[in-house]
Structure 1
Amino acid sequence: MDVVAQGPLPVASLLWQSRPGTWALTVICKATFLLVPTEAQLAPEQDPIVEQDEHWDDDETRSLRAASDIAPLKQRADVVLVGMAFAPEARPVRSFVARMIVGDIDKSVEVFCDRAFTLDGALQEGPRITRMSLRYERAGGGPDTWNPAGMRPDTRDRQGRIAVPNLQPLDKVVSGPGDLLTPIGLGPIAARWPSRQQKLGRHAGRWSPADLTRAPAPEDVEIAYYQVAPPDQQVDVLRSNERIVLDNLHPTHAHLVTSLPGLEPKAVLAGREGGPRVIPMRADTLVIDTERAALVVTWRAQIPLRSAQEEGHVTVSLEHAEKEPAPREEMGKTTAFVGDEEGPATLPFKATSPDAVITFAPAPPRSPLARPPSEGTVALERVDLPSPAAALPFAATSPDANENAAAPAMKPPALIFETPALSPAPAPSPWASGVPQTPAPDAPGTAPHARAPEPIVAARKTIGEVVVEGALPTSPAPSAAAAPGFAVAPSANGGMSPSDALLLVWLDRKTMPRVVRKRAWQEILDAREEEPIDPEFDDPALFKDPAEMEDRAEAHAILGRAAAVSFEGLLDAAMRAAKKAHAIPPLEVCEGELSLPFDPIEALKTTAATARPFAAGKEALSAAIEEAEGFIGSPGYQNAPGLAERFTRSIREAYALSAHGLGGDDLDVLVARALCEGRHYQRRRVLGGNHLRALLRAPGERHPLVVYLPGAIADDLPLFGQFPARLLGEVHFAVDPEEKLPIALRAVALGRVVRLPQA
């Protein structure tokens, strides 16, 4: 059987045995696209088929530069990323986060400059970086891990230093050489690595896919062996217009949003009775190459043969998809034979029709809270062709076997990766950031955001993605007159400049005796004493209590002039204080963008009330609101914020699908404004009192710092969802296990930075 390319795409084929004397042909086709904003473009030069794993420097002990394209089939679709990560705006930084979103995959890697622990346990850091290789050699690992090419935690160099991996999972704080870093990466996994060899069971090290041309695969070889992506980078379906979001993974676009262009190969089988047949090809591999700014998609189809010498030919051409891809929830509605989970998923497996073309269909949709299955669950879609022959693929079937019999029992193989869980945690409330979730500004060269609702097949953004984008620095808010609707406009942040004004919003005067005694701030206070008195503002008669005027003036001077401490510096200060018997929390100044997340219960009430007028004639929206109102009326609902967030998301999603328009305003903006005006902020009873829970986002820091403000000052806060701020506060170790960082700040003074127009 010949395979011929009719067009620019390279093709290949693999002739293999499903069982002794039963042959199958896998047709392979791949396309290379340019990685550009909005929609990828077909590249003028196409990458060739990769016939075997290509290791860096041709050294099999190193990680893969490219995985082999030759495989008989893949149960799920692989998404891998190779190349470099790029610091925002090419500015040298200590660390940054690289993030990839493709379909249901949302994965981030924290990227650091070179680091090493010395013999005395001190952490040394190398030069700041503008880019970093994403090879597995830069991540944690070693011979006894799933990443044998990674950096070992027990190896010292000639100076006695232990290198710390450049790539690490989020939320991991490295404080000493004994801190082990879980291996993490985005690239393909070599066939010889433990995680794939384990899929071969007792045949590990003795069997390879090349043996399929000589004999069938052993029965206990798992299908998942052919997956080259880590388990958390595998999806059921890779669509022809799949949406791709990359953060700090493109040399010129820090935040790149694009999609596959909807092109698909068309394979036509000729030479059999009944005339030519179109063979469905399934996309099962996406490679993102950030250094080359390229995307590579691989498709595959399996054809049963009457014999290894069967004549005929398959012609593969490139064309646009004949129809829009179905929504994800519809793509599982196929004639599928899905094995149960009582035995191992293996090669061979059973098929039915003698002339069937076998492709994989996704399993039925899962509950949002359900953990996705591991690699072993198989769903087969059977496309019957006329003319009987032997069964495909792999398992022998008796001549009188029941065609409608259930597929053999299958059990997902054990997940051996120490990577983050396959399913991301439930998405946070859309109100978690305390501001309306408007899209971030487009990266240079991208098309502006359109107001028209995109079709369902365009892969809408996840709530988690919208929240992250909403938290990114934005341009200065328009004036109130120009702001559409009731938008709670965020302010721009970027550190104080001479033209900025600092407003002292609140001060805890009881702490001032401690504040003024801190040696690091004595020079600031001494310099203030030397400044001339302004009778218009410094007259003690302006205050009922002259001491209050003095306290506020000193706090203002420290907030405005003291050097802000990084989050790492705050942790160091807390560690030093903890070594003292009295353990008084240290006082420090920090700065960033301050936001106050909204209470999820109040957010649900307000969302339901705001959306109710637009629910007439909208079944899904009405049902979502009624479910939410039923929850609000149930006993103890105030103690279930997680459920409230789920109901809020349901209303927002139903509202988005109902294609409503509010004359320029949207549901998010109206709800956020109402919550802000009602001061419905999150509150925590910690540190001996009732506090508002705020979040401080600082440049270069991955996670926000939790700041506790007195609950009584809610009405004194500005009606901005977020604003630049400088804070003076006590550094405490975390008092809430749900928080990301090991420290928190109890504010004793809050200053708001106001951006003034340049002359």
Structure 2
Amino acid sequence: MSVENHTPFPALAFRQYNMAGDMMGVVVARGTFKLTKDGPLRLADEQYPLVMSDTYEGDPHETPQVACTDLAPFKPGTDITFIGAAFAPGGQPQSSWTCALKVGPVAKRLRVHGPRLWRAKTRKTWRGLINRAHEDALDGWELTPGEPVSHVPLDWRLAFGGRTAEDTLEANPLGIGLVDEARFKEQAEWRAPQIELEDQPIRSIRDRPQPAGFAPISPFWKDRAALAGTYDDDWVASRHPLLPHDFDYSFWQAAPHDQITEPWLEGHEPFELTNLLPGFESLKGSLPGLALQVSIDQGTGAQSGLMVLDGVHFDMRPGVGRVFMTWRTAFRWPERRGVPVLSFTAQRETV
């Protein structure tokens, strides 16, 4: 639906029921910005359009999500996400180093490694003298050092997770690091995770850490799917088309849980990217300090309210190199009267 837009940002209005069954109007706006060193984000000349559906590199079940839909009705907090790579300090290939993302109160550090392996250790057994099928026995697994590299893609496919014939990590089905020990004779080497939380190093094939990354999480992965509610026969009979009673609006938060800040960011917070940009071991800046409001006259006089900043997404992939910010607000709109008016404001008001 159209919005009377007095900003440079693409914006859209749509209607959706809330949990109580009220028809709500939702307005979302998306701004595109460029990084500046030691300064606020700068408005980009080209404003990217709204994202109308979740976007993936390819098959959603085989590739990571690169952008999440802007058509979410409500987010309880601000998502802070980053897509790109970690770059070795000084530009010289290294086997391992740390990188960090900090925006306002959110601070997270990862350790990245060059390609490394879980390698089976075996020993000879006396049973092999009788039956060669039992000559070798498994004597544990060693983790090889990472190969020296100049950068590591911050990709869920390089974090802990994945699938084997016996196991699937639903929190990150794209990842690596699961080992099928029973197959050690036919496969003595398995890829080990290249990305981990700095304070949770992976030391054993039996470790089950939370997958580590800065990127968005797919809605059908465990951490988000668990918030979607129960869609059963009882829901169809007594609740449809409303959301289930056990639906949690945090489902719409696409960031890892430790990259969500509640309440929302105000939009002027400082940020720091450490070893996340080529040629910059540390780049500091701040959000641009913009505030947006929506006003609407539904026949009883104009009412206005501040939009909340519920998304800050650093997309540092080659050819993109932009920061995207999303703002959102909702209001009762039972009869679709009036046209939402979007504008800048310095005031905090309530619809």
Give the TM-score category using the shorter length.
Answer: 0.7 to 0.9
Letter in 2 for 1:231: H
- Return the offset for 1:293: 3.2
The CA distance in 2 between the partners of 1:221 and 1:20, in whole Å, is: 12
Structure-2 change in CA distance of 1:4 and 1:238 (3 Å): same
CA distance in 1, matches of 2:205, 2:151: 25
Question: Per residue, is there more strand in 1 or in 2?
Answer: 2
Structure 1 residues 126 and 109: CA distance shift in structure 2, 3 A? closer
Q: Deviations over 1:158-197 (max 9, x none)?
A: 7531111010122445555445444111111111111111
Alignment equivalent of 1:303, drawn from 316, 320, 331: 331
Amino acid at match of 2:259: Q
Tell me the alpha carbon deviations over residues 372-396 of structure 1, each in whole angstroms, 9 at most, x when there is no partner: xxxxxxxxxx935xxxxxxxxxxxx
> 1:231 aligns to what?
257
Unaligned runs of 5+ residues in structure 1 are: 326-381, 385-759
Structure 1 residue 31 corresponds to structure 2 residue 31: yes
Map Cα deviations across residues 596-625 of structure 1 (whole Å, 9 max, x no partner).
xxxxxxxxxxxxxxxxxxxxxxxxxxxxxx
SS state of the match for residue 229, structure 2?
A: helix
- Report the Cα distance in structure 1 between the residues aligned to 2:67 and 2:171, rounded to whole angstroms: 18
Say if 2:288 is the partner of 1:288. Answer: no
Q: Distance in 1 between matches of 2:208 and 2:248?
A: 31
Aligned equivalent of 2:71 = 70
Between 1 and 2, higher relative CO (CA 8 Å, sep ≥ 6) is seen in 2
Asked if the contact 1:9/1:31 (under 8 Å) is kept, the reply is yes
- Structure 2 gaps of 5+ residues are 122-140, 163-167
Question: How far apart are the structure 2 equivalents of 1:237 and 1:18?
Answer: 20
What SS does structure 2 have at the residue aligned with 1:57? Answer: coil
Q: Kindly state the Cα deviation for residue 316 of structure 1 after the two structures are TM-superposed.
A: 1.9
Query: Alpha-carbon deviation of 1:145?
Result: 4.0
| CA distance in 2 between partners of 1:127 and 1:260 (Å) | 36
Q: Secondary structure at the match of 1:119?
A: strand
Closer/same/farther in 2, CA of residues 117 and 15 from structure 1, 3 Å limit: same
Q: Which residue of 1 aligns with 2:128?
A: none
Opposite residue 59 of structure 1, the aligned amino acid is P
Matches within 5 A, 1:485-634: none
Output the TM-score relative to the length of structure 1.
0.39
Q: Give 1:595's aligned residue.
A: none
Partner of 1:9: 9
Distance change in 2, residues 1:272/1:288 (3 Å): same
> Do the aligned residues in 2 keep the contact of 1:117 with 1:176 (CA within 8 Å)?
no
Equivalent-residue separation in structure 1 for 2:333 and 2:299 (angstroms): 11
Question: When the two structures are aligned, how many residues end up with a matched partner?
Answer: 316
CA contact (8 A) 1:138 1:166 kept: yes
Greater helix fraction, Structure 1 or Structure 2: 1
Aligned-residue offset at 1:97: 0.6
The whole-number CA distance in structure 1 between the counterparts of 2:280 and 2:271 is 13
SS in 2 for 1:277: strand
How far apart are the structure 1 equivalents of 2:152 and 2:218? Answer: 21
> What is the CA-CA distance between 1:124 and the residue it aligns to?
3.8
Q: Contact 2:56/2:64 (CA < 8 Å) preserved in 1?
A: yes
Q: Percent identity?
A: 27
RMSD: 2.7
Task: Tell me, yes or no, if structure 1 residue 193 matches structure 2 residue 193.
Answer: no
Output the CA distance in 2 between the equivalents of 1:4 and 1:53. Answer: 26
Q: Distance in 1 between matches of 2:249 and 2:20?
A: 18
1:51·1:70 contact (CA, 8 Å) conserved in 2? yes
Residues 117-128 of structure 1 correspond to what in structure 2 (within 5 A)?
117-120=118-121, 121-125=141-145, 127-128=147-148
CA contact (8 A) 1:153 1:180 kept: no
Structure 1 residues 173 and 263: CA distance shift in structure 2, 3 A? closer
The answer to whether structure 1 residue 243 and structure 2 residue 270 are counterparts is: yes
Aligned position for 1:646: none
User: In structure 2, do the counterparts of structure 1 residues 164 and 224 end up closer, same or farther at CA, with 3 Å as the change threshold?
Assistant: same
Paired amino acid for 2:108: K
C-alpha separation in 2, matches of 1:232 and 1:107: 8
Contact 1:80 1:287 survives alignment (8 Å): yes
Cα distance in 1 for partners of 2:342, 2:294 equals: 4
CA distance in 1, matches of 2:206, 2:76: 39
- TM-superposed deviation, 1:45: 1.1
Which of 362, 370, 383 matches 2:350? 383
- Distance of 2:119 and 2:59 partners within structure 1: 33
Letter in 1 for 2:350: V
Tell me the distance in 1 between the aligned counterparts of 2:109 and 2:144: 25
